[in-house]
Structure 1
Amino acid sequence: MNNLSFSLLSIFLFFFTVLSPVDAQKACRFPAIFNFGDGNSDTGGFTTTFGSTPLFYGQTFFKGPSGRSCDGRLVIDFMATSLGKKFLSSYLDSVGADFSQGANFAQILSPIDVPKLVLPKDTPPFGFNPIYYGVQFAEFVQFANRSQKIRSQGGKFRSLMPKEDSFAKGLYTFDIGQNDLTQALFMNTSIDDIKKMLPDLLNDFTAPIKVLYSSFGARTFWIHNTGPLGCLPYVLTILPPKEVDSVGCSKSVNDLAQYFNSLLKAAVIQLRSELPEAAITYVDINSAMYSLYLEPQKYGFELPLEACCGLGGEHNFGALQCGSTATINGSQVTATPCKDPLKRINWDGFAYSEAANKIVFEKIATGNYSDPPNLPQLACRRK
């Protein structure tokens, strides 16, 4: 082998093994992504159902409202891009939707179980979404059936539907549960009583996954735990903490979220024994997100417990929600965004900013926050 050939081979091997470790391990080829969840991953379901978000939403990336409770992209958006997929269209958004590479059933403020405080309410805590997890799953079943009927009929809509094998070979992602906890807290349910409710709640969460496995042939599941709820401005405002942790978050609320996560992880372990052919990745979003509060300056953030878009209150969540206008002290005022959303962890008191979502995805994309330590591109691999 001459020197030129050896050099070219060396360069090829470097790029293949060092710069492209996922390719070297034969990345999974997911034809579609199907997502279930709440506002952390809703790409338009809520706004289609209840009305559009104010002008300021979506400004960082989409340059206007995009159906997301954020100034830009969500973790699910970054994940879709990393897998070579289009942004997911919401199942309920019929205008301009493309479901060829999957569908999103998530909705802002959706819980796992039927909500007791139901939208719309004009005052905090505002209520929760009647399109809860069970309804989302029913929508998925309808979608799976109807999409194949549309494909079989041919015509111009055929190409907008997923192929039949997408349901077995697709990636199923989940990010839901936080609204069940906050709803119970807002109803003054004691922490001990909430903990007693959680085993049944987790059974309700895992039941549809078993159906996806048995009836639709699904084999790859990517499950996020719930984040540090005690750091969210709306929780800190509505439920002023008696005790805060080292970064100023509500200790009791964050402890409850971690208790939920411990049961969720146990439920995932149980699922693995019941669904032996499934590859189920448990993702510790909580730790990834909390790391931003521990070292905000490291990531370029300031005022970590304050909403970027809002008006009033210790955490810039109180007098007005993002985009709202009202007369206060004789003057008409509007709750507008902060000067630089890229420097904020939280967008509107409820949801994370694009900047925070981007960093969190970069963290979980390493596999360091997952059990087993899968990259999204290798989620189909059982370990």
Structure 2
Amino acid sequence: MEPHCLRLVIFVLAIVSVRLLQNPVVASTEECDFPAIFNFGDSNSDTGGLSAAFGQAGPPHGESYFHAPAGRYCDGRLVVDFIAESLGLPYLNAYLDAVGSKFTHGANFATAERIFQELLPKPEYFSRALYTFDIGQNDLTAGYFLNMSTDEVRAYVPDVLAQFKDIIKYIYGQGGRSFWIHNTGPVGCLPYVLDRLKITAAQVDKAGCAAPFNEVAQYFNRRLKEAVVQLRKDLPLAAITYVDVYSAKYSLISRANKHGFKESLRACCGHGGKYNYNMHVGCGGKIKVHGKEVLVGKACEDPSAWINWDGVHYTQAANKWVFDQIVGGSFSDPPIPLKLACHRH
């Protein structure tokens, strides 16, 4: 099986094929001056790729911040948006959404199927840019939804990570030096996984999550960290930060009330069932009643009190909480803040 999201990432990397300036990194406490962000990942960090390809994610997506759909499968901002904000950069445009978009401060390749090479940043920005990666969730769940066992999904993790290492090496070969890499979150805590995949009562952990799927996610993360360690040896000029997003997200879900949230496992925006998730009628979904369309995939009254937005993705409030935990470096290896991520340690 060729994992979907990394296959797409490999394809879009063609745009970084210009020769970039070499910019050695050294240990320092001076804040980095990132002129651009290039993000690669799945729909957790997609700022419009899927919407550009298949039509806008309709209301109520975007309602909490943009007050209208903004290409994100969320009520507002994503973690990558908060990363851009903290670095003083504008929100990223999805590369598929090329018409009317500017990419002078970076681009988002999450979920992109094809690219349009125009309005690119200055060539020297590529070498000084921050390259962010948020991968794993789609790679793992795609296998489960093809009726693969946890052992079968675990077996193809090395292939996924081999592709990932090739991508990092390619960017490095073109001059990229600063990499901020998120591991995958606790997929066994997502409503769409809990609703669609069978588990026994004995497989449910104290937080209400599906332990077998989280165990595979943790296996993925261990292997990802090993890959990062090897990449540091292979790429001596690279500053590669591994960010343990899994631990931050699991802490949030397992201690939701402590962190100011009231709902941890149910979707804010959805329809029916134990987890307010229905694969046939999603967030913003409508059904026909007596020949008329009726909106049933409604958002909850207060998304800021919910962790999950639509069964798959997190709410803006949860994304902000996760960002606040990871930005300072306490979940990172090496333990450096985002603003120092251009320096080797």
TM above 0.5, yes or no, is yes
Aligned partner of 1:91 in structure 2 is 95
Assess if the C-alpha contact under 8 Å between 1:234 and 1:349 holds in 2. yes
Distance between the aligned counterparts of 1:330 and 1:93, measured in 2?
35
How far, CA to CA, are the matches of 1:54 and 1:101 in structure 2?
26
Instruction: Give, in whole Å, the separation in 1 of the partners of 2:74 and 2:232.
Output: 34
Match of 1:349 among 311, 323, 327: 311
Q: Partners in 2 of 1:30 and 1:177 — Cα distance? A: 25
Closer, same or farther in 2 for the Cα pair 1:329/1:299, shift >3 Å?
farther
Higher relative helix content: 1
Q: 1:96: Cα distance to partner?
A: 2.8
2:78·2:316 contact (CA, 8 Å) conserved in 1? Answer: yes
Q: 1:21-170, aligned counterparts within 5 Å? A: 25-107=29-111, 131=113, 139=115, 146-147=117-118, 160-170=119-129
Residue 296 of structure 1 and its aligned partner are, at CA, apart by 0.7
Aligned residue in 1 for 2:133: 174
2:260 alignment counterpart: 300
* Partner SS for 1:30: coil
The aligned counterpart of 1:358 is 320
Deviation, structure 1 residue 95: 3.2
Residue of structure 2 equivalent to 1:240? 198
Output the CA distance in 2 between the equivalents of 1:190 and 1:314: 24
2:275 is aligned to 315
Q: Does structure 2 conserve the Cα–Cα contact (< 8 Å) formed by 1:228 and 1:290?
A: yes
- Partner residue of 1:120? none
Q: Which runs of 5+ in 2 are unaligned?
A: 1-27
Deviation at 1:54, TM superposition (A): 1.6
- Check whether the contact 2:270–2:282 (CA below 8 A) recurs between aligned residues: yes
- The corresponding residue for 1:222 is 180
The structure with the largest alpha-carbon Rg is 1
2:40 is paired with a residue whose SS is strand
Query: What SS does structure 2 have at the residue aligned with 1:361?
Result: helix
Letter in 2 for 1:255: E
The separation in 2 between residues aligned to 1:303 and 1:208, in whole angstroms, is: 37
Contact kept, 8 Å, 1:312 with 1:320, in 2: the verdict is: no
Check the 8 A contact 1:283/1:371 in 2, yes or no: yes
1:126 matched residue in structure 2: none
- The answer to whether the 8 A contact 2:284-2:295 is kept is no
User: Alignment partner of 1:348: what SS?
Assistant: coil
Q: In structure 2, what residue type is equivalent to 1:327?
A: K
Structure 1: gaps (5+ residues): 1-23, 111-130, 148-159
Partner of 1:378: 340
| Secondary structure at the counterpart of residue 123 of structure 2 | coil
Match of 1:201 in 2: 160
Moved more, 164-173 or 324-333: 324-333
Residues 28, 312 of structure 1: CA spacing in aligned structure 2 closer, same or farther, 3 A cutoff? same
Query: Which structure has more RCO (C-alpha within 8 Å, separation ≥ 6)?
Result: 2
User: In structure 1, what is the Cα distance between the partners aligned to 2:59 and 2:141?
Assistant: 27
- Shift of the 333–104 alpha-carbon distance from structure 1 to 2, 3 Å rule, reads closer
Q: 1:280 touches 1:379 (CA, 8 Å); kept in 2?
A: yes
Cα offset, 1:328, TM superposition: 6.1
Determine the structure 2 residue equivalent to 1:254. Answer: 214
Residue 329 of structure 1, CA deviation: 9.3
Mapped partners of 1:263, 1:163: distance in 2: 35
Q: Distance in 2 between matches of 1:27 and 1:173?
A: 17
Amino acid paired to 1:209? I
- Would the aligned equivalents of 1:228 and 1:286 in 2 still touch at CA under 8 Å? yes
> How far apart, in 2, do the equivalents of 1:39 and 1:197 lie?
21
Between 1:59-68 and 1:170-179, the stretch displaced more is 170-179
Q: How many percent identity over aligned positions?
A: 52
1:327 maps to 2:331: no
Tell me whether 1:278 sits opposite 2:282 in the alignment. no
Whether the 8 Å CA contact 1:45–1:67 is kept in 2: the answer is: yes
> Equivalent residue of 1:296, what SS?
coil
After TM superposition, the score normalised by the length of structure 2 is 0.87
* TM-score, length basis structure 1: 0.79
How many angstroms apart in 2 are the aligned matches of 1:93 and 1:337?
Answer: 26
